[in-house]
């Protein structure tokens, strides 16, 4: 399946799920340049949407499109952390290997806890694409669990992956895996996919 076909299928699946579930608040963690936010804006125009993005170029692009942006990295505690950007990427960045002694660009950014985000709604969807830092960010979700009805995350499988950890955490809080949004694919030597968990379905 081509990249264009995968993107079309992923977008169609997301539109269908968002339309059916009618979330009234959406946190787009790791919003990048707004691919997911654009779908939310189209399908759920009345929902409260906040985009969280630490990369300054991406955050600026989101603002130009009129999104409410928190320019920060989601983390377990407030403060500041160091991000690194792979040399092969132009926008993707991570907090997990920022201390590596190589030539990757690195910079300090504000860190914010999920529970400190201002978001309206009682049926909130939390979407996280944090390049492996999703479990760390969820350590600080706090009382937001009570208003969260859906959780969408990019996951990796196998040794050192995030899927097993996230699935266990979701089950502890009354969520069940609902869908794989896109086709499993190999990236950087690991299987990767977007998984959706829903509460009470």
Does residue 185 register a pLDDT over 90?
no
Nearest-angstrom CA–CA distance, 47 and 35 = 17
Among the listed ranges 50-54, 106-110, 159-163, 188-192, which one has the minimum average pLDDT value? 188-192
186 close to 192: Cβ distance less than 8 angstroms? yes
Phi, psi dihedral angles at 35 (to 5 degrees): -60, -50
Among the listed ranges 29-38, 75-84, 97-106, 177-186, which one has the minimum average pLDDT value? 97-106
Question: What is the length of the chain?
Answer: 201
Nearest-angstrom CA–CA distance, 178 and 111 = 30
Among the listed ranges 59-68, 119-128, 173-182, which one has the minimum average pLDDT value? 173-182
- Residue 150: in which H helix or E strand, if any? strand 148-156
In the chain, % of residues over pLDDT 90: 71
Does residue 186 register a pLDDT over 90?
no
Does residue 94 register a pLDDT over 70?
no
Q: What is the CATH number of the domain that holds 66?
A: 3.40.50.150
Does residue 91 register a pLDDT over 80?
no
- Those residues whose C-beta lies under 8 Å from the C-beta of residue 110, and which sit 6 or more positions away, are 54, 71, 72, 73, 79, 80
pLDDT in tens, 144-182: 999 999 999 999 887 788 999 999 999 999 999 999 987
Q: Which residue has the higher pLDDT, 72 or 93?
A: 72
Nearest-angstrom CA–CA distance, 135 and 27 = 16
Among the listed ranges 86-95, 136-145, 147-156, which one has the minimum average pLDDT value? 86-95
The domain containing residue 149 runs over which residues?
A: 3-199
Nearest-angstrom CA–CA distance, 163 and 193 = 9
156 close to 111: Cβ distance less than 8 angstroms? no
Task: Name the domain count of the chain.
Answer: 1
pLDDT in tens, 6-49: 788 889 999 999 999 999 999 999 999 999 999 999 999 999 99
Does residue 137 register a pLDDT over 90?
yes
Q: What DSSP character marks residue 185?
A: E
At residue 189, the pLDDT reads 60
Does residue 200 register a pLDDT over 80?
no
Average pLDDT taken over every residue of the chain: 89
- Residue 192: in which H helix or E strand, if any? strand 190-199
Does residue 67 register a pLDDT over 90?
yes
At residue 161, the pLDDT reads 87
């Amino acid at each position: 399946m081509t990249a264009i076909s995968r993107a079309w299928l992923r977008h169609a699946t997301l539109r269908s799920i968002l339309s059916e579930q009618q979330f009234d608040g959406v946190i787009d963690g790791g919003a990048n340049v707004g691919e997911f936010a654009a779908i939310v804006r189209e399908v759920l125009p009345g929902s409260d949407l906040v985009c969280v993005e630490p990369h300054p170029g991406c955050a600026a692009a989101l603002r130009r499109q009129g999104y409410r942006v928190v320019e920060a990295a989601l983390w377990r505690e407030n403060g500041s952390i160091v991000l690194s950007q792979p040399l092969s990427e132009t926008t993707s960045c991570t907090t997990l290997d920022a201390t590596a002694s190589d030539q990757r660009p690195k910079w300090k950014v504000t860190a914010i806890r999920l529970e400190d985000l201002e978001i309206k709604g009682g049926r909130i969807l939390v979407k996280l694409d944090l390049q492996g830092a999703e479990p760390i960010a969820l350590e600080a979700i706090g009382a937001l669990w009570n208003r969260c009805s859906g959780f969408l995350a990019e996951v990796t499988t196998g040794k050192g992956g995030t899927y097993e950890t996230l699935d266990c955490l979701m089950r502890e809080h009354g969520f069940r895996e609902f869908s794989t949004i896109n086709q499993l694919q190999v990236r950087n030597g690991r299987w990767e996919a977007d998984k959706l968990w829903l509460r009470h379905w």
